[in-house]
Amino acid sequence: MPVEVNVGLVGLGNIGSGVLDILKENSEIIEKRTGVRINLVAACDKSKEQLEKAITLGIPTTENFKDLLNNEKIGVIIELIGGYEPAHSIIIDALRAKKHVITANKAVLAKYGTEIFAEAQKNNVNVLFEAAVGGCIPIIRTIEESYSSDRIEKIYGILNGTTNFILTRMGEGMSYEEALKKAQELGFAEADPSFDVEGKDTAQKLSILAGLAFDAKIGCEIFTEGITKITKSDIDFAKELGYVIKLLAIAKKENGQIELRVHPTMIPASHFFANISNEFNAVLLSGANTGEILLSGKGAGKLPTATVVVTDIIELGSRVRVTQRNFENVKIMPFEEVTSRFLLRLNVADKPGILAEIAKSLGNNGISIAALSQKETNMETVPIILITHKASEGQLIKAIKEFESIKEIREKASVLRIEDFD
């Protein structure tokens, strides 16, 4: 006898329509394989046009979400409309009606996660959201299930396909503008790409992953720097030094504090993250007992994401317990205290003593220099490239402030953080 899961689907856009496709194509094999029979009881969208596909498939439809809420047969609401409202209210209302919720909405989870998880537990129902982070990569399941017996200490992620596509293409010779245009042509970047390229999408995803991994309440205040200032020459310099630039999400738990940040990062070309190309996403988890696990796959797309939503439905047919997410308040490390190695690029007048001044400013702030290169040019200014040993963001800010007052330094120092994964 199959376990029956009765589903109401809200939002029939790209992913919602993909869910219809997958259920049509794979319901039989799913039941055979898992013993779970998925019944799509009704679909809802405020647009009549979007409802048409469901109607064609013989699925009852409505433009009013309340109809799903009041339908006693429905045990699971799938929210696929995106954005903050009405998605947030729909999720809360569904949970209060004691229906399980599946969502792909990272924005709502990053902002209202604590409220949503508490409401779910109060009503003894589950919230599943594998599709919210990393597309088809089973990252939520891996953190919540595979790592349930271990303590995660570090998370590194390439969590945004748009920026990874742009950086990959820049590594192949395109300018930022060319790469962005290409990404838009291929549907990997939106007309207004700012949410992605400024790193905000990545920061929301990191907030969700870090919350789950560290059992911690994490808000949206994560230090976030996007890729818009990365130039072709940054990428070329990195390459020369044996590095690749990626927009990295980093979360670490150490001494009870959590370090969180999103920024363009130089990583060794030999690290497997360096080969995570184009629209692919990747997550590296480091556990106290398991060591490192790397997961990678397509971070977006209609069918990959819809498949993951359907997997969450199957999961609800297989669970006996409601996931506990009793997240605790944690101390987030102030960003000035975060340490890494830095690469600095400066353009200075070709005059004696300037380099000594820069070195002195760094030394004054306890930063020691690991490598330095000054190339010969025929210009009035010379480019200086400097790699530091580990130092804090606070130390670096002070040092830059000190040497930037020197009039022979012609441009603001360009700073790139280096991650050695140690």
* CB-based burial, 392-409: b 16+ in 10 Å, e otherwise: bbebbebbbebbeeeebb
Using CB under 8 A, which residues numbered 173 to 232 contact a copy of itself?
Answer: 215
User: In the complex, what is the shortest distance from the CB of residue 75 to a copy of itself, in angstroms, rounded to a whole number?
Assistant: 13
Of residues 205, 246, 252, 253, which has the active-site annotation?
A: 205
Residue 145 engages a copy of itself in binding (rule: CB under 8 A): yes
Of 193 and 299, CB closest to a copy of itself: 299
Residue 271 engages a copy of itself in binding (rule: CB under 8 A): yes
User: In the complex, what is the shortest distance from the CB of residue 66 to a copy of itself, in angstroms, rounded to a whole number?
Assistant: 29
User: In the complex, what is the shortest distance from the CB of residue 287 to a copy of itself, in angstroms, rounded to a whole number?
Assistant: 7
Q: Residue 212 is encoded by which pair of tokens?
A: 């789950």
Of 255 and 326, CB closest to a copy of itself: 326
Q: For this structure, is 232 an active site residue?
A: no
Which one-letter amino acid corresponds to residue 118?
A: A
* Residue (of 80, 89, 67) closest to 9 by Cα position: 80
Residue 142 engages a copy of itself in binding (rule: CB under 8 A): yes
| Alpha-carbon span 130 to 410, nearest angstrom | 48
The only residue of 220, 294, 332, 397 in contact with a copy of itself, by rule CB under 8 A: 294
| Alpha-carbon span 164 to 155, nearest angstrom | 17
| Alpha-carbon span 273 to 384, nearest angstrom | 28
What is each CA distance from 405 to 17, 337, 365, 398, in whole angstroms? 58, 24, 15, 12
Q: Residue 232 is encoded by which pair of tokens?
A: 């072709």
| Alpha-carbon span 141 to 363, nearest angstrom | 46
Residue 306 engages a copy of itself in binding (rule: CB under 8 A): yes
CA atoms within 13 A on the CB side of 11: 23
Of 274 and 397, CB closest to a copy of itself: 274
The only residue of 12, 30, 127, 166 in contact with a copy of itself, by rule CB under 8 A: 30
- Please state, as a whole number, how many other Cβ atoms lie within 10 Å of the Cβ of residue 291: 9
Residue 422 engages a copy of itself in binding (rule: CB under 8 A): no
> Which residues in this chain contact a copy of itself in the complex, by CB under 8 A?
3, 22, 26, 29-30, 32-36, 130, 136-138, 141-142, 145-151, 215, 270-272, 274-276, 282, 287, 289-298, 301, 303-304, 306-308, 310-311, 313-315, 317-324, 326
Active site residues: 205
